[in-house]
Chains A and B, each alone.
Chain A
Amino acid sequence: MKESFFRTMTWLHTWTGLLVCWLLMLIFFAGTLSYYRYEINLWMKPELHTNVLQQYQDLDLAQTLVQGQTYLADTAPGAKTWMLRLPTHRLPFVGYAWMDAPKEGERRGKFHEHIVTTEGEMISDVRATKGGHFFYRLHFDLHYLPVPLARYLVGFATMFMLLAIITGIVIHKRIFKDFFALRLKKGPRSWLDSHTLSSVLALPYHLMITYTGLITLMFMYMPSAMEATYDGNRKALQKEITPVSTPAKPSGTPGELVSLSTILPSVLEQAEGKPIRDIRIQNPLDANSQIQVVLRNDSRVADHEYQLLYQGTSGEFIGKVGDSPSSMGKAYDTMIGLHAGRFAEPTLRFALFLSGVLGCVMIASGTLLWSKKLRQKQQKQIDQGARPSLGLYITESLNLGVIAGLPIAAASYLWANRLLSADYAGRYDAEINLFFTGLGVTLLLAFLGRINWRGALLTGGLMWLGIPVLNALTSSENLITNIVKGQWFIAWIDLLALMVGGLMLLAASYCKRKIDNKVGNKHKTKVQDAPTTNSVKAAESAQAIKEHV
């Protein structure tokens, strides 16, 4: 299309990246926060901050199961499903939960959960919040949009991302050398370096997360294969990949459930040392009830549930639902597992989180680089009093509004969680609306030219730094007591907030220095008129950028 393959790929890289970068930024941002979905969840429910965290090893299994069964029989006799949730690395507490029978037109009934304290008391009154699940859903369902439309938009953006990554690799000649090159304070050169560095450093991650992202929704994006072989019937395909026995249908006659303690020895034997994640009881008070014991699988990457099935009234062992017999089924599970990272222990989780952050930096530095170059082209006219072109105005405003707006929005969401009264009826939606208010206001101010980078970063940084303080004031625990008690799961969000806030303030102070430097530089150029080594170098690097971008 262009004169050379290289130029074509450069062109393609710029446009695939630029067209979707702000949507991608939102997707990456939400996805990165989703690594701490359950930590955010717990942080946003301060009612659960004291005497709730437990470890599986310290649990008296038989007692917990019997207590749970009795509690659910008293509290939710009419439920479709009971669930006894035991502590895992992602949900470190005991919960007794149930699901109502679905009402007409619903796929699933309403979910309720009461939490058990370490003292054996029940907590049933927890504030309504979407918690970390908001970011998880935002990552692929966006918000305010019909779900199918949102998912197609996200898929479209992801495909562009894949193209941008591949073309990015193609146009990158010195992948190893640039690994170590970060030339700071050199104008566009620095933006290019930070773009390259964030891209190359986490390249395997970027490729993996983009491709597996497409795989997670491939049944929606690429249904043709399934149309050809199964007439589009996903259930038929699913049945061949994972032969799960059909869930028990209620018979209509009441029946008595065995005590869970009687099947416990058999469960422990069949589980072969794997910890129990939760126990689900379908149609608990029916003659045809079924007990599903779900085992933990987080020592492996593949995202696949292991279950032991028992008949509910007799306690008879029905069978195991284990690995998929299909090798491609395993490959698929592994890709989903890689994307969701459910297996990741704290250190690996943090590494994944940092890679996600690098992804955000990659997108942000890419679009900033583009707008800097556009501004450079117009600088002469702008200096002479011309107004920036419409393209430049939109790009720069969107950059500021989205890049600084997203952390501001997330901080508003967390602040809303504590400032809205715990029993205010509309709080569930109000929290989410306040997220978008934070983003919307930043965007609006950016377009109106009423806020600059320094102001926005300063605001966001202070909001994030305030989060541990807010937590200390509105929770029964604070950062220090959480750490002293070893409740890292809750303390982590405060620590993360300090890191994010600190980084934003650092960036804000960098903006200030840059403004000072610019004033200083103008003086210098007046003094040194003759071309110096510096300006020769600058010309060289400008040339290098031209070749690159």
Chain B
Amino acid sequence: MHTQSAISLTSMRQKHGHTFTVINRTLAALVGGYLATASCAALLALILPMSTADSTLLAMMLSFALWASLAIYAFAAKSGTRVWILLATLIAISLVGVGAAQ
């Protein structure tokens, strides 16, 4: 009886854990991934060694590939924390870069 309830408790925790993981990773992929992509694209548009029009277009055209890769990483990474660290780093570096380049 005791063991049975313990098992059902763990499975419940696992179930809740799974829901949390899914929401966490989905947010990371969609929201975090988009913000990181958008800031990287802004930085690339400013620093790529070509005319401003060219670098802007190129940054925009490549951005969706970057977003897709980040989204896949968000689900594939070992832990959700790692994903958020990577995304936060990307956003921070890009924003600092954008500030410096502008």
Contacts and interface: CB of A to CB of B under 8 A. Distances in A.
Interface of A: 1, 5, 8-9, 11-12, 159, 162-163, 166-167, 211, 214-215, 218-219, 221-222, 224-230, 237, 240-241, 326-329, 331-332, 335
Contact of A163 (B38, B39, B63, B72): B72
Nearest to B22: A1
A240 B53 contact: yes
A1 B21 contact: yes
Interface residues of B, number: 36
Contacts of A218: 60-61, 63-64
Task: Name the residue in B38, B53, B56, B65 with the highest tally of chain A Cβ atoms < 10 Å from its Cβ.
Answer: B53
Contacts of B37: 222
Contacts of B57: 237, 241, 326, 328-329, 331-332
B71 interface: yes
B88 interface: no
B99 to A, nearest CB: 10
Main secondary structure of the interface of B (DSSP, over half): helix
Interface string B14-33: 00000001100100000000
A329 B52 CA distance: 11
A326 B42 contact: no
Interface in B36-52: 37-39, 41-46, 50-52
Nearest to A324: B53
21 contacts: A1-B21, A12-B75, A159-B64, A163-B71, A214-B64, A221-B64, A222-B41, A222-B60, A224-B38, A225-B41, A226-B45, A229-B46, A229-B56, A237-B56, A241-B57, A328-B61, A329-B57, A331-B57, A331-B58, A332-B57, A335-B61
Nearest to A4: B76
Task: Name the residue in A9, A227, A335 with the highest tally of chain B Cβ atoms < 10 Å from its Cβ.
Answer: A227
Contact of B76 (A8, A162, A221): A8
Contacts of B51: 240, 326
Given A229-B46, A241-B53, A327-B54, A211 B60 contact: no
A223 to B, nearest CB: 8
Given A8-B76, A159-B68, A215 B61 contact: yes
Given A12-B75, A222-B38, 16 more contacts: A1-B77, A9-B72, A211-B64, A211-B65, A215-B61, A218-B60, A225-B44, A226-B45, A226-B60, A237-B56, A240-B53, A326-B51, A326-B53, A327-B54, A329-B54, A331-B58
Contacts of A229: 45-46, 52, 55-56
A214 B56 CA distance: 16
